[in-house]
Homo-oligomer: A and B are copies of this chain.
Amino acid sequence: MTTEAVSRPQTAARPDPSGSSPRSGQPLRVALLGCGTVGSEVARLLIDSSADLQARIGRPLELVGIAVRRLNRPRAGLDPELFTTDAEALVGRDDVDLVVEVIGGIEPARTLILSALRHGASVVTANKALLAEDGATLFTAAEDAGVDLYFEAAVAGAIPIVRPLRESLVGDEITSVIGIVNGTTNFILDKMDGEGAGFAETLSDAQALGYAEADPTADVEGFDAAAKAAILASLAFHTRVTAADVYREGITDVTTSDIASARAIGFVVKLLAICELADPDADGQRSVSVRVHPAMIPRSHPLASVGGAYNAVFVESRSAGRLMFYGPGAGGSPTASAVLGDLVTVARNRVRGAAGPGESSYAARPVSPIDDVVTRYHISLEVADVTGVLASIATCFAEHGVSIQTVRQAGRGSDAQLVIVTHRARDAALSATVRALRTLPAVREVASVMRVEGDV
């Protein structure tokens, strides 16, 4: 019962009309920018998997240079001759076909990528910060040069999400993308949920275990997730969204009480990157909202069971319905897998004289401010247990046009705790309601306020 497969060479179907790719059968030359956790794994795989990569592309890949900041670190298994500190000279070489950028950050990554594109190389990058800040400049440069810019590794590590959004779902109308796209914060929130520990203590544990950086700001304040949200929204809605467009709250203010409160009503707290396409307005225009904040989601929601440092992206579209993509969102090996997948794809394109999809931003949609976002709130109040308190609170909601879905009350001596979950309303109305609640004499404390997402 064996296959009768005959191995056929993966020859180029057509010559490259631009004449810029190397001679038939010659190796495609790869320059690597950065040799940290991801870069060193990419280099290792380029060497260890060279036979398979060659068979899949139709030409060998040859690693011709690795740009690093310092030459003095030992790098096991890699030829010392490959290393250089002159990254600009490496991307300026005329014989480089493919450039992999895994330095991260805005500069010098942007200058190097632009130089590589202008020199006719296709580029694979994992740089979410740069794409979210100034992707348009990079995409335009790639389009002008007729080369590829691929970036599967920039969002959710090894999880294929860029290709599904750019290609698989490109005939559909995506209406929302909700992701757990930062492993560090998911690890922390998952541990707080499981162990009842506080944020500061759990962050220390995460740092000790290597799940959080010494400076955790980019993760816990939501900057990393916001960059990914901008990229996801741009792809899903065929528009340009930058990191500056993304409303952002981190998880530093999430308390054990928030988490216990969520648990009590069958919910769990997650840091979500939420991208939504609004219904058409009076002029037929459809705006998008893009935001990152902690939120309570029902434990029955597919994202609720995404534990530890895993990532997942939940996509809803008009025809396909509800899809979820799940996997490791970070780490050297998973990120290197995504980089290599892109590298083989752009190499195949080069061998065939083709280019993959460029930027699609024709829809040019406005981004709604957070005030206009329609969502739900969970509000936990400490109130005086006196007659009429519920009436005064309910009046406060009604005056702001916010409808209450559920109220739970628990007496505690002379005090009571009220847990209120609202119906959907404009965020501005919800936050105005909370401000007004704080001024009510019967309200001793607004103990917890959190958005509720993921209706199922």
Contact = CB atoms under 8 A, between A and B. Distances in A.
Contact of A171 (B6, B159, B343): B343
B10 A358 contact: yes
A7 B238 CA distance: 10
Interface stretch (A70-78, A83-91, A364-372, A387-395): A364-372
A326 B324 contact: yes
Contact of A327 (B152, B323, B333): B323
A334 interface: yes
Interface in A1-55: 1-10, 13-15, 17-18, 41, 45, 49, 52-53, 55
Given A167-B345, A354-B355, A369-B1, A322 B328 contact: yes
A217 interface: no
Contact of A320 (B1, B6, B337): B337
A323 B160 contact: yes
A231 to B, nearest CB: 13
B357 A354 contact: no
Interface stretch (A239-247, A250-258, A431-439): A239-247
A305 interface: yes
A141 B114 CA distance: 39
A158 interface: yes
Given A1-B367, A327-B323, A354-B355, A14 B18 contact: yes
Interface of A: 1-10, 13-15, 17-18, 41, 45, 49, 52-53, 55-56, 136, 140, 143, 146, 152, 158-160, 163-164, 167-173, 238-242, 245, 302, 305, 317-328, 331, 333-334, 336-345, 348-349, 352-355, 357-369
23 contacts: A1-B368, A3-B241, A5-B136, A6-B361, A7-B361, A7-B364, A55-B238, A56-B360, A152-B168, A160-B169, A163-B164, A170-B341, A170-B345, A171-B340, A171-B342, A171-B344, A172-B340, A317-B337, A321-B334, A324-B324, A324-B325, A348-B357, A354-B354
